[in-house]
A = this chain, B = another copy of it.
Amino acid sequence: MKGFKIPKTTVERLPIYYRALLGMEKREIEVISSQDLGQRIGIPSAQVRKDLSYYGEFGRRGVGYEVPILRRHLQKILGLEKPWPMLIVGAGNLGRALINYQGFLRHGLEVKAVFDNDPRVIGTYIHNLKVENLEEMEEKIQQEGIKLGVIAVPAEAAQEVADRMVNSGIKGIWNFSPEHLHVPEDVNLRNEDLSVSLMALVYHLNYSIERSE
Contacts and interface: CB of A to CB of B under 8 A. Distances in A.
Contacts of A206: 78-79
A9 to B, nearest CB: 11
A93 B80 CA distance: 25
Contacts of A157: none
Interface in A13-58: 14-16, 18-20, 40-42
Interface stretch (A113-121, A129-137, A160-168, A187-195): A187-195
A76 B116 CA distance: 37
Interface residues of A, number: 58
- The A contact surface, by secondary structure, is helix
A54 B201 CA distance: 18
A106 to B, nearest CB: 8
Interface in A89-123: 92-94, 96-98, 100-101, 103-104, 107-109
Given A15-B200, A19-B196, A93-B97, 11 more contacts: A11-B200, A16-B196, A18-B199, A78-B202, A78-B206, A94-B101, A97-B97, A104-B195, A148-B201, A148-B205, A190-B200
